[in-house]
Copies of this chain bind each other. A is one copy, B any other.
Amino acid sequence: MAGNSFGNVFRIITWGESHGRGMGVVVDGCPAGLALSEKDVQVELDRRRPGQSSVSTSRAEEDRVEILSGIFEGATTGTPISMLVWNRDAKSSAYDALRDRPRPGHADLGYVARYGVRDHRGGGRSSGRETVGRVAGGAVAKRLLAESGILVVGYVRELGGVRAGIPDDADISRLRDEAEKNPVRCPDQKAAEEMVRAIDQARWDGDSLGGVAEVVARGVPAGLGEPVFDKLDADLARSLMGIGAVKAVEIGAGVEAARMRGSEMNDPILPEPEGPIFETNNAGGILGGISTGAPIICRIYVKPTPSISRPQRTVDLSTGDSAEIEIKGRHDPAIPPRIVPVAEAMVALVLADHLLRLRMARI
């Protein structure tokens, strides 16, 4: 109800503030018997970690996960999996000047309106650092999906106006490998270089950039998704729009679908020995809220980082007067590269939840 948990059957709750003692997550509802180790989680946290390259924040956090419960002799027991990461490199003093000056593009005023109080240090709970818990929980979901042959891969398609060239029929394992080779997580190496240059320029300008990321899930069986409100695409949209800085979500042909005719948009159904398949995938693997067996394709549109060092106009809450603000913290000048593992985690959490719910659809 207070919005810090996610999922129905496979469920996580995250806790922790940017400059508090640590970040954590409890995974509840993971079935017993799943092989799981701290290493499975650490590899995903390492992808999310700050300070990985010149294009991300210089906050240095080791982000070493400790699993405190729910595992016995290398496998899950069906009880809650509590995971913890300590905060080490919080520099709260950088935020003292911001105490009374809400940052444009941030949730600061909303928190005050809602709660009356606000932990202003590093954005508190609204910080991107909150996603540590999501990524750790998502790593468990990915392990569960892997047991069913489901693979979730994300990458950057566009950044600062630079678009990657990605063939429609590209193998997603390959895309993942290519994307992980560069700091912007773009599978097109040439575009990636341009993106890095664009980021360098934006940082020089005291400004920031937006972009587009895509997440694909392969191996999802037909039948996932509840048909009315808990449609698979509805739950994906919620999970992705719930990541800070995401302003639009699309599935399959998405925005372009609005400009097609039915005869173009509808994916023809073809006979195959193992059952019907689809000739094209404008649907993005989901029809009527239920997976079709084709790959699930989601795209998110990410706004530029709101924290910029250029002067911006705001208000001093202590006086009510106009004021100027220059944000000095350590920030990523473009969020898309680091949003990729978070978006993968959210997609994995939604799929894991619906995969379990599928077990209850028939007598």
Cβ contact of A109, chosen from B5, B253, B287, cutoff 8 A: B287
Chain B residues near A250 (CB, 8 Å)?
Answer: 247-249, 301
A277 to chain B, nearest CB (A): 9
Chain B residues near A239 (CB, 8 Å)?
Answer: 229, 234
Chain B residues near A224 (CB, 8 Å)?
Answer: 114
Instruction: Given A82-B15, A116-B32, A248-B250, check contact A262 B105 (CB 8 Å).
Output: yes
Cβ-defined contact, A113 with B290, below 8 A: yes
Chain B residues near A72 (CB, 8 Å)?
Answer: 17, 117, 119, 124
Task: Mark A210-254 against chain B: 1 for CB-CB distance below 8 A, else 0.
Answer: 111000000001111111111101111111111010011111111
A322 to chain B, nearest CB (A): 5
Chain B residues near A321 (CB, 8 Å)?
Answer: 271
- A170 within 8 Å of B by Cβ? no
Task: Mark A247-269 against chain B: 1 for CB-CB distance below 8 A, else 0.
Answer: 11111111101111111111111
Cβ-defined contact, B109 with A255, below 8 A: no
Chain B residues near A110 (CB, 8 Å)?
Answer: 222-223, 225, 287-292
Binds B, one of A23-31, A49-57, A172-180, A187-195: A23-31
- A69 within 8 Å of B by Cβ? yes
- A183 within 8 Å of B by Cβ? no
A13 CA / B79 CA spacing, docked (Å):
11
Instruction: Given A21-B68, A249-B249, A263-B207, check contact A78 B362 (CB 8 Å).
Output: yes
- Quick one: which of A41-73 are within 8 Å of B by CB? 66, 68-70, 72-73
Instruction: Given A109-B269, A237-B238, A250-B301, check contact A2 B29 (CB 8 Å).
Output: yes
Instruction: Given A13-B26, A229-B4, A312-B268, check contact A288 B360 (CB 8 Å).
Output: no
Chain B residues near A111 (CB, 8 Å)?
Answer: 227, 288, 290
Cβ-defined contact, A221 with B77, below 8 A: no
A222 CA / B112 CA spacing, docked (Å):
9
Chain B residues near A68 (CB, 8 Å)?
Answer: 15-16, 20-22, 24, 84
> A72, A116, A242, A291: which has the most chain B beta carbons within 10 Å?
A242
Chain B residues near A158 (CB, 8 Å)?
Answer: 258
Nearest B-chain residue to A355, judged by Cβ: B360
Nearest B-chain residue to A247, judged by Cβ: B257
A159 CA / B211 CA spacing, docked (Å):
27
Cβ-defined contact, A247 with B258, below 8 A: yes
Chain B residues near A362 (CB, 8 Å)?
Answer: 31-33, 78, 114-116
Cβ contact of A303, chosen from B242, B257, B308, cutoff 8 A: B257
Nearest B-chain residue to A229, judged by Cβ: B6
Cβ-defined contact, A13 with B34, below 8 A: no
